Amino acid sequence: MNKAARGSLLGIEHLEAKEILSLLTLARRMNPLKPRPLLRNKRVLLLFYEPSTRTRASFEIAAKSMGAMTTLVLSSGSSIEKGESLLDTAYTLRAVGADVMVIRHPNAGAPLLMATHLDVPVINAGDGMHEHPTQALLDAYTILRHKKTLTGLQMAIVGDIYHSRVARSAIHLLSKFGVRITLCGPPEFLPDVATSLAPGLHITRTVEEAVRGADAVMVLRVQKERLAGTKLRLQDYISRYQLTMARLKLAKRDAILMHPGPIIRGLELTWEVADCPQSVIVEEVHNGVPVRMAILAKALGKVN
Ligand code: NCD
């Protein structure tokens, strides 16, 4: 197979710690309220085969705050509905002048396939159960706004970890920096190879054990259809795994509460937890803009 187009961001797994740090440092210099025409005349194609609110809006705002033109192509209402293949759509969008492609797709590996056939950088905005690298970067950025360093932190991830590309990318990133991660959820929602996934990764049976002493707690969305495939009823999930204030209090006093969104209040977390002072859920979305500005500028070779 050919090599992925230069500047592509396909996942966190194969990035080096220094590449991650350089993106995070660059993001700190980006201010969407002080536009810099770094990407003037560049065309950013946003290709979304799955629903998205935060990721799509923040990529678009990030690109526009640097002077780029953006075009959004959704699977519904485009030739994709007529059965056009991913690569044919990609060649079409390249032909209209795309300089960079941002893609979200239900199949793992779709961004890689595009990147090996195109001569423009491809950015993975979430591919199936594989990776969501820009989310992991904005999560690390958010943690570093509250904690001096990642090294030595303790983090709990609670919910449907098995199906979560957010969790996979976060685990890849945070374990490169020595974060100790504890996973908790129903057995059907836990990766079977968790212990071989990364050093310092643990699984606990109860939320209480996972959260106790944590510096950060990340809650993941739980889809009711997926819950139906487990032995648990909705009420059982809520009583065993829902993040409540009483459970959050077991974490460090200055612990932050994270969630990639969309949140389902009353299921994976309570209303009170979602809005509590420790919650950085809205801040994560806010930080997505400078982080994606940095990613786009880097992909297009506009910064070192
Ligand atoms: C997530 C996703 O789509 O992977 N959302 C996001 O991008 N912030 C998480 C989810 O949908 O559960």
Domain residue spans of the chain: 17-131+287-299, 147-279
- What distance in Å separates the CA atoms of residue 231 and residue 233, rounded to the nearest whole number? 7
What confidence tier does 198 reach under pLDDT thresholds 50, 70, 90? low
C-alpha triplet 126, 202, 146: angle, nearest 5°: 65
Choosing from 55, 58, 166 the residue with most ligand 1 atoms within 8 A of its CB, the one to mutate for a pocket test is 166
**Ligand 1 neighbour 104 (Cβ under 6 A):** no
- Residue nearest atom 7 of ligand 1, based on CA coordinates: 55
Choosing from 104, 135, 289 the residue with most ligand 1 atoms within 8 A of its CB, the one to mutate for a pocket test is 135
**Ligand 1 neighbour 154 (Cβ under 6 A):** no
Q: From ligand 1's centre to the CA of 101, what distance in Å? A: 19
Q: Domain 17-131+287-299 is of which CATH architecture?
A: 3-Layer(aba) Sandwich (3.40)
Average pLDDT over residues 123-137: 98
Domains 17-131+287-299 and 147-279 share a fold: yes
Say what percent of the chain tops pLDDT 90: 87
> What is the helix, strand, coil percentage profile of the chain, to 5?
40, 15, 40
Residue 134 near residue 123 (C-beta atoms within 8 A) = yes
Instruction: Flag whether pLDDT at 70 surpasses 60.
Output: yes
Q: What is the pLDDT of residue 302?
A: 85
Q: Which token pair is 67?
A: 């002077």
Rama region for 35: left / alpha / beta (φ>0; ψ in -120 to 50; rest): beta
What confidence tier does 205 reach under pLDDT thresholds 50, 70, 90? very high
Q: Which token pair is 113?
A: 């396939």
The model carries a pTM of 0.96
**Ligand 1 neighbour 260 (Cβ under 6 A):** yes
Q: What is the pLDDT of residue 2?
A: 61
Q: What is the pLDDT of residue 197?
A: 59
Q: Which atom of ligand 1 is nearest to the CA of 165?
A: 4
- In words, the CATH class of domain 147-279 is alpha beta
**Ligand 1 neighbour 134 (Cβ under 6 A):** no
Q: What is the pLDDT of residue 196?
A: 56
Instruction: Flag whether pLDDT at 283 surpasses 60.
Output: yes
Q: From ligand 1's centre to the CA of 126, what distance in Å? A: 8
Model pLDDT for residues 234-274, shown as the tens digit of each residue: 999 999 999 999 999 999 999 999 999 999 999 999 999 99
- What distance in Å separates the CA atoms of residue 237 and residue 239, rounded to the nearest whole number? 6
Say what percent of the chain tops pLDDT 70: 97
What confidence tier does 182 reach under pLDDT thresholds 50, 70, 90? very high
User: Mean pLDDT over all residues of the chain?
Assistant: 94
Q: From ligand 1's centre to the CA of 262, what distance in Å? A: 7
Q: From ligand 1's centre to the CA of 166, what distance in Å? A: 7
